[in-house]
Structure 1
Amino acid sequence: MRRLFVIASVLILSACYNAPDPGKTVSGGGPGMLAGAPAQSFDVRRTDGKPDSLARHRGQVVLMNLWATWCPPCREEMPTLERFAREHAGTVVVLGVDQGESADAAAAFARERGVTFPVLVDEQQQYGRAYAALGLPTSVIVDRSGHIVRGIDGPMTLEQMRDAVAPALKHGAS
């Protein structure tokens, strides 16, 4: 029985976090994660019920973060994402995309942690499948023209977030 518990625990944790090197560029997976490819977008709702999608933010640099409330690395990364969003307000749009949970669960999580950036609810996990997320959290940096700059598997530090968006901010700056 103990052995079964250990195996189940390892599987659950590896499903949530599958990145031995936080902040690395994702090179595998589907075409949705290839640098330079058009970013795929799906119509979903925000926790406030308003419709939103990645495509609605075309013309802006976007850091899209796929996460879930049950994921420990996602929970740990959230304050850093919030700090980054506040620090880059007006230059980078941060979109949190909750994977596979209800709007109520995502809203409660965001409220408890003081999240001010938009939280989208992707109950069908369309974004996770399209971007071939290897685990959670997964982030995708999208430039102003709607193309992927890079994908990052695993949680990032504030410095890694800054470094990840820098090329998109430089390219096409007005």
Structure 2
Amino acid sequence: RGKPVVLNFWATWCGPCQRELPALQRAAEHYDGVVVFAGVDQAETAQTVQRYVDKLGLTFAIPMDGEQEVGERYGVLGLPTTFFIDERGVIRSIWMGEMNSVTLAENIATILR
């Protein structure tokens, strides 16, 4: 609570996830200090994820959800799925599937109001 959050569920083997991660990284840099970004990896080893994060140069938080407990709590049915949460902790929108930078910006705008 206190800052808006973009919470993205992903995995290294997910093609749509791979394609949208660079847009998430650019947005995380653009909104640094204003919006918190977290990319929750689903059911992979830390070593696999760290190699991928290093390869892409991701700097936002990448929590591990090895048992998919967090994904289950959020009702994630497929990857990628992204939740846009306002500063009060209210989920304002959910995007299931790959986002481009325009879709990402439009959804971020809903949590900055």
User: Which of 95, 99, 107 is the equivalent residue of 1:164?
Assistant: 107
What TM-score do the two structures reach when normalised by structure 1? Answer: 0.63
In structure 2, the gaps of 5 or more residues are none
Matched with 1:114 is 57
List aligned pairs for 1:87-102, cutoff 5 A.
Answer: 87-102=30-45
List aligned pairs for 1:1-174, cutoff 5 A.
Answer: 58-170=1-113
Aligned-pair CA distance for 1:134: 2.6
Paired positions, count: 113
Aligned-pair CA distance for 1:106: 1.2
Cα distance in 1 for partners of 2:110, 2:55 equals: 33
What TM-score do the two structures reach when normalised by structure 2? Answer: 0.95
Tell me which amino acid in the other structure corresponds to 1:163.
E
Which 4+ residue blocks in structure 1 deviate beyond 6 angstroms? Answer: none
In structure 1, the gaps of 5 or more residues are 1-57
Cα distance in 1 for partners of 2:53, 2:110 equals: 29
The one-character-per-residue Cα deviations of 1:45-67 (angstroms, maximum 9, x if unpaired) are xxxxxxxxxxxxx2110000000
The 3-state SS of whatever aligns with 2:63 is strand
Cα distance in 1 for partners of 2:4, 2:96 equals: 19
Tell me which amino acid in the other structure corresponds to 2:14.
C
The 3-state SS of whatever aligns with 2:88 is coil
Cα distance in 2 for partners of 1:127, 1:151 equals: 15
The one-character-per-residue Cα deviations of 1:66-120 (angstroms, maximum 9, x if unpaired) are 0001111111111111111111111111101000111111111101101011111
Tell me which amino acid in the other structure corresponds to 1:119.
I
